[in-house]
Amino acid sequence: MKLPYNIFAAYYDTITRSAQDERNKMILSIAKNEGVNSICDFGCGTGLLMKLFKKNNLNTFGCDLSDKMIEIAKINTLIQDDRILSVEDMTTYKPPQLVDIATCNYDSINYLLNEKLWKKYFLNVYSILNDNGQFIFDFVTLYDIRKCWPGYKQYHENEHWALLRIAEYDRSNDIGIEWFNWHIYQDGVWIQDTEKHQHASLEKETVRDLLLSAGFASVDMTDADSGAEIFDNETTRIEVRAYKKG
C-alpha cells in the first residue's frame, strides 16, 4: 500500500483539471479585483494555481507534503527554489515573505486529523499574512464524512490505468477513509496497488472559533457548491474566507 498521492500525483490533473481550472480562475479574480500581489497555496498539489498567478506576474509560494506532487509542481511552474515551492507540512511552512492571500483548496485541510492540528495551521496562516490579508479555503463537513461517505464509490479509467475510489466512515475515530484502488498498465503488465486517504472535519462553529482565536477579525462561510446558506444536514462542503485586519 502506497502513501497518499504517491500514485495519484501522476494522474491528478487528468482527473481533476476542470474543477481546478474553475476554482483557480475564481481565486485569481479575487486577487485582481482586490489588488493583491502575492499568494501562498498550502497543499499546492501540482502547482496549477501557482502557475496561473505566476503567469499574471504575481508572487507565488506553495507547499505540499507529497514529494511526488511537488516534483510535478516544479515542472508546471518552472520554480526550483525549495523556499518558494517546498515539500513541507502546511502547519509549519512559512514562505520567504508575507503574502496577501493564503489558500488551501480541494479539502486539503481535511487531511489534518484532529482539532489541535487545525488550530496550529490557522495560527501559522495568520502569521504569514500581510495586514488586511485573507485566507481562502474549503473543507468537507462532518455531515459529508458521517452520512455521505459510507458506501460511496467513484470510477475513473483510460486505456492505461483504472481507479476505483471507495469511501467509508470510521466511527471509532470519527474520520472518513477513502481507498484508491489502482490498476496501472506498465511494461506490458497490469499492476495493482492501493492508497489510503484519511479525512477529518470539525463543526463549522468550531472552525470559526479557531480562526477568530488565531487572530482573524472576521470569517465568512457559505455552502461551497451552491454559494448559499449552510444547512447542517445538507451541506457537504463549506467555503471559508477569513480576514486579517491591519
pLDDT 10s digits, 132-171: 999 999 999 999 999 999 999 999 999 999 999 999 999 9
* 8 Å CB contact between 145 and 177: no
Q: Calculate Rg over the CA atoms of the chain.
A: 18
pTM over 0.85: yes
pLDDT, tens digit, for every residue of 203-215?
Answer: 999 999 999 999 9
Mean pLDDT of 36-61: 96
Model pLDDT, residue 96: 97
All domains of the chain in start order, with CATH? 8-140+203-243 (3.40.50.150), 143-199 (2.20.25.110)
Torsion of CA 135, 177, 227, 130, to 10 degrees: 0
Pairwise CA distance, residues 151 & 24, whole Å: 30
Whole-number pLDDT of residue 18: 86
- Which whole number is the average pLDDT over 188-207? 97
Average pLDDT, integer, range 36-52: 96
Which pairs count as long-range contacts for 14-17, CB under 8 Å and 24+ apart, including other chains? 14/158, 15/156, 15/163, 16/106, 17/48
